[in-house]
């Protein structure tokens, strides 16, 4: 019987020791040994193989050794401000004292009578608050075992993630005096904690500010002048430069020359305008270079993205709803400080059921301004016409 006449290969049987039991079976057996393709699927059983392959899809996937991490803006607030180094991490409130003198002498011209004018020393207490920023991380026992099997350093990776979250939240409190949620809930606030970008005791140039004296009385004053519209084509390079020189003079005048500013932070679009605007068609210097070359005091200028749209409400024709802000100040611990008694700590793992939890926290007290007139905000409209 020719092999091509065999229609049902399932009728061909082999005995227990795989020895063909008929002449036809012997012929078929030899044919299969010499040419497995003679039987559909190349198999001796009756199960056909569909889409056969040597490798599985998962085996063909190459896993790279490097891991790409999502990046966030750098935490810069602590680098812009002197840190308070004497506040213990254990306190939730602290106090500091202010002292001032009062009185005036009189000119003796031979006619003055009566008691001498009296000179006194006035002292006052000021309070500050420290809050905890708390979080945790953890894993189940099975997760820890799986991480060990996959040679993954689970504790280190989760600990580093928790540390970065608390440091970023610390920076937010130092910037704004509050802590926002990602899910749209109202921001968390604490009385007595101010932020560097919007501190209530720092004046905006050209805007009246009500302040409190050491004796508790209040007064209102305006420091500096409003800024020109830098994004309007008609604004000249000289006007931009004069705005910056005017801020220096405003701080110097307000403090009677005691506090001379040395640092200028500005929104990123403002620094871009200064670098792209030439002093004149014939000049090879832009406004920023000209200002740095001619300023007597400011030698350190940095951009800060968190000052973008951080100013007052903008009623102009710009795209932003708020003005871009800059802050000029004296970087000195006697004038301003960042309160961050505890950067980050984590406790021992706590086991509950089959899950380990590691509590973490940092402590922050916001920004304290001791001499408010040593710093000055300036807001520039985003309008273009």
Cβ neighbours of 207 (radius 10 Å): 14
Q: Is the pLDDT of residue 33 over 70?
A: no
Residue 31 has pLDDT above 80, yes or no: no
> What is the structure's pLDDT at 1?
44
d(CA 139, CA 147): 10
Percent of the chain at pLDDT > 70 equals 84
Q: Is the pTM of this model over 0.85?
A: no
Q: Which two tokens stand for residue 217?
A: 């009385």
HEC profile for the chain? CCHHHCCCHHHCCECCCCCECCHHHHHHHHHHHHCHHHCHHHCCCCCCCCCCCCCCHHHHCCCCCCCCCCCCCCCCHHHHCCECCCCCCCCCEEEEEEEEEECCCCCCCCCCCCCCCCCEEEEEEEEEECEEEEEEEEEEHHHHHHHHHCCCCHHHHHHHHHHHHHHHHHHHHHHHCEECCCCCCCCEECCCCCCCCCCCCCCECCCEEEEECCCCCEEEEECCCCCCCCCCCCCCHHHHHHHHHHHHHHHHHHCCCCCCCCEEEECHHHHHHHHHCECCCCCCCEHHHHHHHHCCCCCEEEECHHHCCCCCECCCCCCCCECEEEEEECCCCCCEEEECCEEEEECCCEEECCEEEEEEEEEECEEEECCHHHEEEEEECCCCC
pLDDT surpasses 80 at 22:
no
pLDDT at position 112 is 67
Out of 46-50, 178-182, 278-282, which region has the weakest mean confidence (pLDDT)? 46-50
pLDDT at 241: 97
pLDDT in tens, 118-142: 999 988 888 999 999 999 999 999 9
User: What pLDDT, on the 0 to 100 scale, is given for residue 159?
Assistant: 93
Q: Whose CA is closest to 128, among 363, 343, 339?
A: 339
For 43-78, write each residue's pLDDT tens digit: 555 556 566 666 667 677 777 777 788 888 899 999
Q: CATH second-level architecture of 77-102+116-380?
A: Alpha-Beta Complex (3.90)
The total number of residues shown for the chain amounts to 385
Rounded to whole angstroms, the Cα distance separating 36 from 350 reads 63
Residue 257: per-residue pLDDT = 94
What pLDDT sits at residue 8? 52
| Arithmetic mean of pLDDT, 184-201 | 91
Residues 6+ apart with CB under 8 A from 215: 100, 102, 122, 124
The band of 353, judged by pLDDT with boundaries at 50, 70 and 90, is: very high
Domain ranges of the chain: 7-46, 77-102+116-380
Residue 10 in this model has a pLDDT that exceeds 60: no
Confidence of residue 344 (pLDDT cuts 50, 70, 90): very high
């Amino acid at each position: 019987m020719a092999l091509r006449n065999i229609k049902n290969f399932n009728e061909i049987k082999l005995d227990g020791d795989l020895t063909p039991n008929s002449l036809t079976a012997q012929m078929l057996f030899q044919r299969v040994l010499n040419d497995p393709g003679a039987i559909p699927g190349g198999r001796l059983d009756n199960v056909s193989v569909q889409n056969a392959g040597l490798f599985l899809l998962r085996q063909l996937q190459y896993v790279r050794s490097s891991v790409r991490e999502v990046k966030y803006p750098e935490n810069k607030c602590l680098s812009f401000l002197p840190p308070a180094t004497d506040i213990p991490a254990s306190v939730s409130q602290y106090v500091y004292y202010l002292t001032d003198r009062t009185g005036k002498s009189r000119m003796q011209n031979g006619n003055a009578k009566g008691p001498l004018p009296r000179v006194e020393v006035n002292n006052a207490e000021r309070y500050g608050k420290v809050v905890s920023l708390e979080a945790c991380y953890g894993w189940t026992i099975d997760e820890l075992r799986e991480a060990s099997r996959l040679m993954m350093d689970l504790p280190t990776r989760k600990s580093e993630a928790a540390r970065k979250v608390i440091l970023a939240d610390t920076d937010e409190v130092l910037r704004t005096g509050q802590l926002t949620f990602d899910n749209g809930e109202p921001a968390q606030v604490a009385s007595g904690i101010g932020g560097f970008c919007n501190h209530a005791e720092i004046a905006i140039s050209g805007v009246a500010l009500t302040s409190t004296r050491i004796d508790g009385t209040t007064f209102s004053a305006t420091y500096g002048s409003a800024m020109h519209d830098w994004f309007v084509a008609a604004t000249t390079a000289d006007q931009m430069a004069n705005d910056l020189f005017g801020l220096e003079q405003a701080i110097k005048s307000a403090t009677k020359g005691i506090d001379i500013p040395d640092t200028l932070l500005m929104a990123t679009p403002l620094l871009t305008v200064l670098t792209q605007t030439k002093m004149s068609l014939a000049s090879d210097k832009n406004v920023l270079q000209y200002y740095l070359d001619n300023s007597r005091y400011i030698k350190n200028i940095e951009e800060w993205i968190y000052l973008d749209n951080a100013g007052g409400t903008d009623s102009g024709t710009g795209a932003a709803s708020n003005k871009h802000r800059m802050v000029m100040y004296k970087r000195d611990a006697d004038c301003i400080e960042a309160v961050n008694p505890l950067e980050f700590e984590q406790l021992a793992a706590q086991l509950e059921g089959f899950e380990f939890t590691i509590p973490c926290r940092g402590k922050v007290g916001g920004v304290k301004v001791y001499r408010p007139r040593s710093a000055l905000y300036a807001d520039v409209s985003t309008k273009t016409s």
